[in-house]
Structure 1
Amino acid sequence: MNNVTIKDIARELNVSTATVSRVLNQSGYASLEVKRQVLAAAKKMNYQPNAIARSLKKHQTKTIGVILPDISNPYFMKISKGLEDVVYESGYHLIFSSGNDNPEKENEMLKVLFEKRVDAIVLAPSGENDELIHKIKNTGIPVILVDRQLSNEAVGLDYVTEDNFEGAYQLTSYLLEQGHKQIGVVNGPLSISTGFERYEGFRSAIKRYNIEVDHKYIYHGDYTQEAGYKAAKYFFDLAEKPTAILSFNNRMTFGVLLELAERGLSNYEHLDIASYGETEATIFLKAPKIITLHHSSYEMGARVGEILMEKLVKNKEESVNEKPKQHTIYTQKSTIWQESDLKS
């Protein structure tokens, strides 16, 4: 029998639907004999609880919607793992989607998750849906930002990010200390908080060394492999080529390496590459030298999960009115390392 309901079991046993409901939901009184009969009938008739109906009754679905720019990116995978490890222990499950840094797609996915009645939303925003995010938050659904912030701070959302300014400052300072003055910078979009903050960290570092920004060595990409590929092609078609490349995203770093591979890596043995975030390709390289700043992505995801669990045990009114939790995961200077002796 398909789609068996509580009413079907009640009809089979000639008892009330309320009695069957009390037994199956383990709430209220029912004699041992009635319990035995109801459970036996439910098993015999292959009864499956209606998760949608139950969620409507309890006003919770035990699901959390997660919108990330690219769920295939190892960086965001680690964030997701940290988040899942925390919320799973409390019986919550995650629904993932990729926003692709496309504001229209992100807008659509936010509406879908809201209509699906998820209990909370975790978002790495594209930077252009502040109004909708604010509206969702004001319905009582917790919205927590991860990796990025909104341009409109008045929205007052919880967020967990890395110290992007400090990380970019460290990487830039390292290259400058090695004597580099012509540094090709592959940055993300300035409309996204990480792109703006990392670029400001770069600018602050070169200002400290009394160097002016040479805009011919600045390439604003979109955090994709293709952007890194195009940036490297642009830099090495210049008459005066950079002596180092500073990439502010692991995917763009991989694109840079692809372009260099096509040109012949042996031609760039003296080129330094600094990457904000790890890329697996470095394990196959002997040259050029890769300087990497490690992300704290798992820790970020776990902290988001902890904040969510704190919120989901409170009522909606408290969630709307409480002061936002804003956490910055600081990058440690010791996490810069060199790939100087890697296998070819």
Structure 2
Amino acid sequence: MAKATIKEVAAEAEVSTATVSRVLNDSGYVSDEIRERVLEAVAKLNYQPSAIARSLKQDKTYMIGVIVPDISNPYFMGISRGIEDAVGAEGFQLMFCSSDENPEKEGRLLQLLREKRVDAVVLATAGGNDETVKALSESGLPIVLVDRKLGTETGGAGVLDLVAEDNEEGAYRLTGRLLEEGHVRIGVVNGPARVSTGRERFEGVLRAMRERGLREQPLVYNGAFSTEDGVRAVRKFLQADPKPTAIVSLNNRMSLGVLLEIVRSGLRIPEDMAVASFGEVEAISLLRQPGFYYIDQHPYDMGTRAGEILLRRIRKERAEEGPAIEIFRNEVNRIG
């Protein structure tokens, strides 16, 4: 059965197509009698308005693009859910994309979202696309950075709206807990330095060590924020002489790999190897008295805040204001 057209609805209701449009878009005056006739015709003909035509007319698609490094990561899932709950009530839908920590793929996704005419973008950048992001923003596309800043070459956090964690301070306090327990030989599992979270969290580790008089550089493994990189890091550390007595892992996915490999190696946590993680790891509950330090995170709240900022930008309520910067401060917790 062919789809009904707006002209057929207008003919059935004995009104103009402009009147049908006013009724469906709730714009302009239409009498109650005419409105009822139009709605009856719509129901009778099972008319479905064209989302594409409506978006062209309104210059709005009601789509928001979300690019994160790994949509399967519970942390980014929480952020995405917060965004969705914040913008969903206004009729917006999300288009999710995973960059896989690949700057080239992220660049292609940014281009795709521009071609899809999304109304805004939320970006947890993999790095390397600062100029592209800046150009899109200057063209009028609202962009909110979440979790990660742009690189320093384009002004870092000062260019675009940003919702992130206090990465350096969190890593500083997390490392401090290990140092307070007497650990001086520490292995650091970190992500790529091109990403702001990697740079800032590592600086927090170094600051904690410097303030306690430890001048020697820690053992470092730089990965790509994956479970496999946590496994590889532990294997590297266990081959060192002397071995570290504690590991600070600066990402929850890598922390899972750290825990798995320590257990596989027959070591006890924390007796043989203490572990501290930037982000909670659910699997830690399977260990008995793990003595596990972690930084608590609030991805849903961050996503909600990012969604609220986006809505104001889309409505142009903050057109004359500078970038909105929201930094979440997290606490150190201990299990066992």
Please say whether Structure 1 and Structure 2 have the same fold, judged by a TM-score greater than 0.5: yes
In structure 1, the residue matched to 2:292 is 290
Relative to structure 1, the CA distance from residue 244 to residue 51 in structure 2 (aligned partners, 3 Å threshold; closer, same or farther) is: same
For residue 205 of structure 2, what is the amino acid of its counterpart? Answer: F
In structure 1, the residue matched to 2:104 is 104
Distance 1:30 1:84 in 2: 33
The yes-or-no answer on 1:337 pairing with 2:336 is: no
**C-alpha contact (below 8 Å) 2:191/2:251 kept by paired residues:** yes
Relative to structure 1, the CA distance from residue 141 to residue 241 in structure 2 (aligned partners, 3 Å threshold; closer, same or farther) is: same
Distance 1:3 1:265 in 2: 66
Distance 1:285 1:265 in 2: 12
Matches within 5 A, 1:117-132: 117-132=117-132
For residue 190 of structure 1, what is the amino acid of its counterpart? Answer: A
Question: C-alpha deviations, 1:212-268, integer Å up to 9, x for none?
Answer: 2335x1111111001000001111122321100110000000001111222224486
What's the secondary structure of 2:87's corresponding residue?
A: helix
The yes-or-no answer on 1:251 pairing with 2:247 is: no
Q: CA deviation at 1:18?
A: 2.2
What's the secondary structure of 1:172's corresponding residue?
A: helix
Distance 2:31 2:175 in 1: 73
In structure 2, the residue matched to 1:203 is 206
**C-alpha contact (below 8 Å) 1:265/1:287 kept by paired residues:** no
Distance 2:170 2:75 in 1: 15
For residue 305 of structure 2, what is the amino acid of its counterpart? Answer: R
Q: CA deviation at 1:107?
A: 0.8
The yes-or-no answer on 1:187 pairing with 2:225 is: no
Distance 2:30 2:246 in 1: 75
Question: C-alpha deviations, 1:171-226, integer Å up to 9, x for none?
Answer: 111111110011011011111000000011111111111112335x1111111001
What's the secondary structure of 1:169's corresponding residue?
A: helix
For residue 301 of structure 1, what is the amino acid of its counterpart? Answer: G
Unaligned runs of 5+ in 1: none
Q: CA deviation at 1:13?
A: 5.2
Relative to structure 1, the CA distance from residue 73 to residue 314 in structure 2 (aligned partners, 3 Å threshold; closer, same or farther) is: same
What's the secondary structure of 1:90's corresponding residue?
A: coil
**C-alpha contact (below 8 Å) 2:159/2:323 kept by paired residues:** yes
Task: Report the number of matched residues.
Answer: 333
For residue 256 of structure 1, what is the amino acid of its counterpart? Answer: V
- 2:239 pairs, out of 211, 227, 237, with 237
Relative to structure 1, the CA distance from residue 290 to residue 20 in structure 2 (aligned partners, 3 Å threshold; closer, same or farther) is: same
Question: C-alpha deviations, 1:146-186, integer Å up to 9, x for none?
Answer: 11101134371111111101001001111111100110110
Q: Percent identity?
A: 49
In structure 2, the residue matched to 1:133 is 133
**C-alpha contact (below 8 Å) 1:124/1:147 kept by paired residues:** yes
What's the secondary structure of 1:97's corresponding residue?
A: strand
- 1:170 pairs, out of 173, 194, 203, with 173
What's the secondary structure of 2:89's corresponding residue?
A: helix
Distance 1:263 1:235 in 2: 12
More moved, 89-98 vs 170-179: 89-98
CA RMSD, 1 decimal: 2.0
In structure 2, the residue matched to 1:115 is 115
In structure 2, the residue matched to 1:46 is 46
Distance 1:338 1:270 in 2: 17
Q: CA deviation at 1:15?
A: 4.3
In structure 2, the residue matched to 1:73 is 73
For residue 208 of structure 1, what is the amino acid of its counterpart? Answer: E
Relative to structure 1, the CA distance from residue 239 to residue 61 in structure 2 (aligned partners, 3 Å threshold; closer, same or farther) is: same
In structure 2, the residue matched to 1:322 is 321
Relative to structure 1, the CA distance from residue 187 to residue 5 in structure 2 (aligned partners, 3 Å threshold; closer, same or farther) is: same
Q: CA deviation at 1:62?
A: 1.8
TM-score of the superposed pair, with normalisation by structure 1: 0.90
In structure 2, the residue matched to 1:219 is 221
Distance 1:143 1:81 in 2: 18
Distance 2:59 2:42 in 1: 25
- 1:312 pairs, out of 288, 311, 314, with 314
Relative to structure 1, the CA distance from residue 12 to residue 127 in structure 2 (aligned partners, 3 Å threshold; closer, same or farther) is: same
In structure 2, the residue matched to 1:261 is 263
In structure 2, the residue matched to 1:87 is 87
Distance 1:35 1:305 in 2: 34
More moved, 240-249 vs 58-67: 58-67
Q: CA deviation at 1:10?
A: 2.9
